[in-house]
Amino acid sequence: WPRKTGRRHIDASAVFLSKPNPDALFGNDGESRGQANYEPHVGPVAAIDGSPFHRQLFASIGTDGLLRLFTLMQGRPLVEIEAASGPLSAVTWSSSRPMVLAVTCENGKVLLYDLKVSSSLPVVELQPPYADAESPPSALSVCFNQKMRSFIGTGDAAGNVHIFTMPWGLANSGETEKQDLAQFVENWAEAED
């Protein structure tokens, strides 16, 4: 099909236009219809979250300490980040910044990634204050505030809720950030090919 239509670049829209046989994409054993397989984590997957700004992008985290970014069209991760030396428990995309996501760690930290700044390192590490700093409870959940963009909340294994204020740049989107995210995904997808 690409040769017949003269296409050099195959993206999601090209695959859609080619009207591929679903069995070729998703298998033909009857049980796996409509299901795609992605490179597994080593150990349990703790959380998955889809990007609210890119319909094909999602993040997964596991007890292996890895944060992976996938597109629906590729089984291999676009980006794999060793976020922590221990298990991760939650991941969520920012509701106001297309290229920002947060990950919680077993050591109680919340890591904020800004893919516009770095695709491998967190730009901010949040550590709730604990009386026993040697063994803080695991951070289990994280949530961006949709109404008051500068606030992020996290919950831990000891039942505590912590609210943090993020820097202005992590809470407020630039004019081209949606396009920047699309370009980020396209660049990494091409690098995988």
pLDDT of residue 15: 64
The CATH number given to 41-192 is 2.130.10.10
Q: What is the CA radius of gyration of the chain?
A: 19
pLDDT of residue 45: 93
How many Cβ atoms are within 10 Å of 33's Cβ, its own excluded?
11
Is the pTM higher than 0.85? Answer: no
Spell out the domain ranges in the chain: 1-37, 41-192
In 3-state terms, the chain is what percent helix, strand and coil (to 5)?
A: 20, 30, 50
pLDDT of residue 90: 95
Q: 83, 88, 105, 104: which is closest to 152 by C-alpha?
A: 104
Q: Which residue has the tokens 């091409």?
A: 190
How many Cβ atoms are within 10 Å of 70's Cβ, its own excluded?
23
The per-type count for the chain, helices as H runs and strands as E runs, is: 5, 11
In contact, 172 and 96? CB cutoff 8 Å: yes
Q: 189, 107, 162: which is closest to 153 by C-alpha?
A: 162
Q: Is 131 exposed, middle or buried (0-12, 13-18, 19+ CB in 10 A)?
A: exposed
pLDDT of residue 188: 83
How does pLDDT run along the chain (193 residues), one tens digit per residue? 455 666 566 666 666 666 666 665 555 555 555 667 899 999 999 999 999 999 999 999 999 999 999 999 889 999 999 987 789 999 999 999 999 999 999 999 999 999 999 989 999 999 888 767 778 899 999 999 999 999 999 999 999 999 999 999 999 988 999 999 999 999 888 776 5
Collect all residues with Cβ–Cβ distance below 8 Å to 190 and sequence separation of at least 6.
none
In contact, 164 and 48? CB cutoff 8 Å: no
DSSP state of 53: S
